[in-house]
Every structure is written in structure tokens, then in C-alpha cells.
Amino acid sequence: MAKSTPLNTTMKTTLKASLRWRIVLWMTAVVFLTLASVVIITRSVLLSDVTNTANSAVEQEIEEFRRFATEGVDPTTAQPFASGHRLMEVYLSRQIPDENEAIVGIFPGELIQVDYSQLSGAHPAPLEHSDPLVSEIRQSTLNSGIFNDPDRGAAHWGKVNFETASGEADGEFVVAFFADNLKSQVNSQIQILILIGTGGLIASILIAWLIAGQIIAPIRKLSSVSAKINNSDLTRRVPVEGRDEIAQLASTFNAMLDRIELAYNDQRQFVDDAGHELRTPITVVRGQLELLTTTPPEEQARSIELATTELDRMSRMVNDLLTLAVADSGTFIHKLPTDVTDLTIDIEDKARTISDRILLVDAAEGLVNLDEQRVTEAVLELFSNALRYSDDVVELGSDFRHSGPDRIFRIWVRDKGKGIDLDEQETLFDRFSRGSQKNSRRPGGAGLGLSIVKAIGEAHGGRAFVNSTPGLGSIFGLEIPAPQQSKEYTHEQDPAR
């Protein structure tokens, strides 16, 4: 044990650390994935808004120019515009583009535009004929598009050809919206969001570490108590705090320790009692064998008889112990549907071979799922026990009772001895308990017979019972659950009345 303790301690420490880190890692992973999803979705939404804003601005400017070109007149002549140059000059003089927006009239060898780059805000610098954007717009057969200018960045553009009143097609009206500034703002917002998320992630790691510590603290107590439990001390228990799942685990563990302690104490008491009971016949046999060399021949037969009797008693005791061990293993009985009328009569016949002081007073009729041999063994033990305490006839009977919705099969024996005090009735079925021997007509056994009867009753899902009144006799029997069968008839006579 001493050599395994350091290894066990190391394993427990590793498991505790592993569990805590696993909780922290999983919580961190969940928070990280959540924050990453929020950042990605937010960035996508904001960039989509930038695209929609750029496209809307271009479409709005083109639609306003179309209306002006269709409905507008030259303010100096009050007539429709005679040339495209004049149309563009008047229109541009009345418009102030939005930030990031450029409005240009493109004519052969000439660009008409107003320079707003000196104003406050993010107005772009004037376009030049040599700009890649201008070349792209003039060469494109489409009326709109997006062009990634190497100097100005992404530009959403739209154009419309126009004619003057004379039908001269001499120019193109162009609107360009440069979105990089808005995208830079989006990126700045995302960076701030990432910083905030990083702070939240760090905070979540710290919180997860503290929460994990609180979660595994009861488990550590459980492990500590388990490590301190040994054969000499089964009294330690895990403190139960709160009503959560951990508290339920601690309560369940404590209940398990209660059962183990009870079983261990019973086992130790059982071994002590068995050793004490076996020591007596061994001592007697040894003493008689030692006397054989000095005992006169006429007394040797008596010594051999005494030794044989004690060996027989020890053999019965060992068989009883083996029976109880089988009962404790859970493979004690083998149930089959049994006619309880025939069972009761068979038990009477077998009891009569032990003593003719047997009287059958009642027999139930019906089928019950039980182990016929074990029930017979139990009733014969009760019958033999009754003969020790009574010189009168011992009655045998069986019947059915109802306990609420459940039907119970009972088989019992009744003696007319002096009865048993109530305080002794509580321990009669304990192992190595003989009860009071003052009214017994024969020497007592090892005190295992009634324990076997009790084990047989409990193995059937029922119980062994005693009903005794000092001065009036005792009733011992078995109660076995008996759900309704197709064949049913019951006697309602109560042997206790």
C-alpha cells in the first residue's frame, strides 16, 4: 500500500489538473468561436453596407443628372442646353458631391469637374485622363462597374451618355464612388471589436479557471476522502454542500460508504461469530481425541460418539454458511410456477418424517412463481425450530393475503410454546442469533437456520415474519409476492386470529 500511494496521488493530481484545464479549454473555445463569428459576421454586414452605400450614391447621382438633362434649361437663355459642355458646367455648378464621390463630364480630350479636395472631409482629388479609372470607364461597354484603382482603391462607378437639344452626342456623365475610406472605417471598427473581444476572451479564461476550480473542488474532497478510506476506518464522509449535481454525487457516495461500512461490519461480525462457533466443536473433538489414549475401552465409544456429533454439527454449520454465501451472491433461487396446494401438502409429508406432531390446518389454492425446494427448506427449518419450543402439535398452513393492490402468498407454522418477548423478535433472524434458550426443549444450533429462512424470503422479493405473544405461542412464516394467475382460489383464514 505504501508503495502505491505516491503513484495514486500523482495520478489523482494529473486527473484533477487535466479536468480543470479541459473545462477551461472548452469554455475558451466556445467563447473564441462565438467572438470570431461575431467579428466575421459584423465585418461582412458592414462591408455589405459600404457596397450598398456606394451603389446607391452612384445610382442617385445618375438619376438626378438624367432628370436635369431632360427638364433643365440654360439659365442664360432660358432655352434647352445647346451643348454638352454647357450642360455639364451648369449641372456641376449646382452640385456638391458627397464625400468619397467624384462627378465628371468626359469629352473628347477634356474632363469637366470641380475640385472639392480642398474642402474639409474626404473628397477625392480630381481625375486625370491618364488615370486607369478613366481609361476603364471609357473603354467599358457596361454602364456601371467596380474597378480597383492602384492609387485610389476600389471605385464604384456608373456612366450615362447624353445628348443636347440639337441631338449632339458629345459627352459622358460619370459618377465614381471611392469606397476605401469607408472600408478603412469598417476595419478600424473591427479592430476595436477584436480588442474588446480579446479582453472578453481573457476575462472568460480567468472566469473559466475559477469556475472549474469550484466545480472540481467537491471532486477533490471526494478523492481525498476515498484515499483515506481503509479497512480500519470507514467512518469518513464527504461534506455535502448545496443541492446541485455535485451535492447529489457526494450524497450518493456517502450512501455507498454507509452500505460498505454496514456490510464490512456485518462481515467482520459474521467472521468473528463463525470463528467462535466453529472453535467450540473443534475444541470438543480435539479433547475427545486426546483422551482416547488414556480412556478405558468401555468409554472410548462414548468419546467417539461425542466427537462425531460435534463434527456433524460443524458440518451442518459449514453447509449453512455456504448456503448464506450463495444467498448473498444473488444466484440463490430458481422460480417456477408452482401449485401451492401441492406444495403445502408435500411439506406436511416431509415434516411428518421429522415428527408426527404436525397438523395441516389450511392450504391455499393457486399458482405462485417460487422456488419449491428453497421454500420447503425454509418451512422445514421453521418446523424443526418450533419443535424445540413446544411439546404440543405444530400447525402448518398457507393462504393468500392482499396488501393494497398486491397479493401475497403466506406459508407458516404455529407452535403453542411460551412465546417470544418483543425485544427478542427484532433479532431472531440475524445470523448467529439463537434468541432465548430458556424455553427450548433441545440444545440450540449455531443460530443460522432463521437467517437462511430470511434469505429465502428476501430472495423471492418477500420476507420472513414472526408473530409471537408471550404465553400464547408463536407463528413463523414466509410472505412471497404472488401476482394474480389464471388459476386462483384463496382461503381467508388468518392463523394469527
Which residues neighbour 100 within 8 Å (Cβ) at sequence distance 6 or greater? 54, 122, 123, 124, 177, 178, 179, 181, 182
- The predicted-structure confidence for 195-222, as pLDDT tens digits, reads as follows 999 999 999 999 988 888 887 877 787 7
d(CA 451, CA 476): 13
Cell of 345: 401438502
Sheet holding 144-149, edge to edge: 110-112, 101-107, 171-178, 153-162, 144-149
Low-confidence ranges of the chain (pLDDT < 70): 1-17, 120-121, 163-170, 231-232, 269-270, 272-274, 276-277, 280, 317, 320-321, 324-331, 431-447, 485-497
Cell of 329: 451472491
State whether residue 464 is helix, strand or coil. strand
d(CA 376, CA 344): 9
What is the per-residue pLDDT for 327? 64
Cell of 478: 414466509
Looking at the fold, whether 170 and 85 belong to one and the same domain comes out as yes
> What is the pTM assigned to this prediction?
0.50
Q: Are 378 and 443 in contact (CB under 8 A)?
A: no
416, with CB counted inside 10 A (0-12, 13-18, 19+), is: middle
Looking at the fold, whether 469 and 350 belong to one and the same domain comes out as yes
d(CA 440, CA 216): 60
228 domain residue, yes or no? no
173 domain residue, yes or no? yes
CATH code of residue 472: 3.30.565.10
Looking at the fold, whether 457 and 342 belong to one and the same domain comes out as yes
Q: Which range of residues forms the domain containing residue 156?
A: 79-179
What is the per-residue pLDDT for 443? 45
DSSP 376-421: HHHHHHHHHHHHHH-SSPEEEEEEEEEETTEEEEEEEEEE-SS---
67 domain residue, yes or no? no
Looking at the fold, whether 480 and 365 belong to one and the same domain comes out as yes
Q: End of a domain among 179, 205, 229?
A: 179
198 domain residue, yes or no? no
- The predicted-structure confidence for 70-115, as pLDDT tens digits, reads as follows 888 888 888 888 788 888 888 888 888 888 899 998 887 788 888 8
Cell of 62: 445618375
Q: Are 343 and 369 in contact (CB under 8 A)?
A: no
Q: End of a domain among 327, 342, 371?
A: 327
Looking at the fold, whether 369 and 448 belong to one and the same domain comes out as yes
Looking at the fold, whether 123 and 154 belong to one and the same domain comes out as yes
Where do we find the cell 500523482? Answer: 10
Looking at the fold, whether 275 and 365 belong to one and the same domain comes out as no
Q: End of a domain among 121, 146, 179?
A: 179
Integer CA distances (angstroms), 289 to 283, 300, 302, 316, in order: 10, 9, 11, 21
What is the per-residue pLDDT for 1? 39
130, with CB counted inside 10 A (0-12, 13-18, 19+), is: exposed
State how many domains the chain has: 3
Looking at the fold, whether 466 and 377 belong to one and the same domain comes out as yes
d(CA 383, CA 478): 12
Give CA angle at 56 (51, 57), nearest 5°: 100
